[in-house]
Amino acid sequence: MDGTLLSFRTHRVPDSAVEALQRAREKGVKLFVASGRRKADIDQAHLPDVFDGYVTLNGGRCSLTDGTVVFERFIDREDIETLVAWQETSQAFPCILVTEERLHLNFTDENVAQLGRQLNLEMPPADDLQEWIAVARSGVSQMLWFLSPQQQAEVMDHFPHCRMVRWSPLFGDVIPESAGKDVGIARMVNYLGIRLEDTMAFGDGGNDIAMLQAVGTGVAMGNAAPEVRRAADFVTTSVDEDGIALAFEHFGLL
């Protein structure tokens, strides 16, 4: 969603994309948001009312607009306990536990503040680490770890049930090993009786690569990283240069 449908510059969906989505839906195309955000944070972006469902939390939760939950996957509680122990050492780093209800942050730094500004989201106040064990019992869908790519490999070795997908040098999204946008999309289309080869996805970040490779047609935005562009079947223009509308026109969806 961010950098694909929403502009980082304006924090809005371009008018050309809104029109393209509306026209495609009128022709019978089903539309879904696939995002690392949770549904509550997607709602803050005030997207047009054209979507049939949501693949949120990097595939950790899939739901229809009527609230039906199609698929849900949580972080292993053992990994949360390991994280709490890690955070009590000198190697602590800022991280956020993400549940459907709220965000839980251990402490903040400039990278956390920068992410809030980039996504136009208010970051949560700091929590007591010991509360995180109780939070894990209710289900943690995703974690945001503010680590450099160099730190990532060393730290992830201690969390065998998770993997990290990254679209920003500031942080990585930590998700269950068996989740991902590609997994969520596969679960959603199977539920709806849609063939995967009849699907199209748009993306710009590293956490979109598996999704772009899994669907029938993967479209990278013009502002996408080089590795994302290589994974796609087609590269459109950037979100601020009417990239969604241009791709819809290119593939005859309008």
Cα separation of 141 and 203, whole Å?
21
pLDDT at residue 249, rounded to an integer: 96
Q: What is the pLDDT of residues 47-98, one digit of tens each?
A: 999 999 999 999 999 999 999 999 999 999 899 989 988 888 877 899 999 9
Token pair, residue 140, equals: 């943690």
Q: What is the pLDDT of residues 211-220, one digit of tens each?
A: 999 999 999 9
Report the largest interatomic distance among the alpha carbons of the chain, rounded to a whole angstrom. 57
pLDDT at 203 over 90: yes
pLDDT at residue 154, rounded to an integer: 83
pTM for this structure?
0.87
Residues 185/166, Cβ–Cβ less than 8 Å:
no
pLDDT at 24 over 90: yes
Cα separation of 173 and 208, whole Å?
12
Q: Which residues, 6 or more positions from 226, have their beta carbon under 8 angstroms from its beta carbon?
A: none
Instruction: Out of 55-69, 146-160, 181-195, pick the least confident.
Output: 146-160
